Amino acid sequence: MNKMRLMFTSKLENEAFARTSVVAFLMPINPSVDEIMEIKTMVAEAVVNCMIHGYDGKEEGDIQLDVQYDENRMITIQIQDYGCGIENIDLAMQPLYTTKEHLERSGMGLTIMSTFADDFQITSTLERGTTVLIKKQLHVESEEEK
């Protein structure tokens, strides 16, 4: 098992840092181009949700990003903020639901993450923050593919 942890400030310019750091960390297990794109998308959606929803666009909060992978190429990504929390997770999980219509948010971030993930969990406590847990099994190469 290999793991890493990043902590960074809730500034939009740090989204690209988070996304590329995760991909760089996973390079030793040789993810496919499609897997890289899905991982980058999930990380970007989760981090931007922390910034826009968790901290309501304020650049004052911290975001913690944990990534690990095992010998079977199962990756686990956990993204956590310490912001306002989600009042109703079931409602937030509905496609097209958004609390930020004035920002032209599509309301598809959680749906996209749960679609690309093999396991997707979200926990939240009002005024304490939200944690997104993503698990994804990367393709295991056969002997012919090696």
Please state, in angstroms and rounded to a whole number, the distance separating the CA atoms of residues 107 and 66.
Answer: 24
Q: Is 105 a catalytic residue?
A: yes
Please state, in angstroms and rounded to a whole number, the distance separating the CA atoms of residues 103 and 9.
Answer: 21
**Whose structure tokens read 């912001």?**
83
- Say if residue 17 is exposed, middle or buried (CB neighbours under 10 Å; 0-12, 13-18, 19+): middle
In order of 14, 48, 77, the CA distances from 9 in angstroms are: 7, 12, 18
Q: Is 45 a catalytic residue?
A: yes
**Which residue among the candidates 14, 35, 38, 49 is catalytic per the annotation?**
49
Q: Is 49 a catalytic residue?
A: yes
**Which residue among the candidates 105, 128, 141, 145 is catalytic per the annotation?**
105
**Which residue among the candidates 2, 45, 71, 87 is catalytic per the annotation?**
45
Active site residues: 45, 49, 105
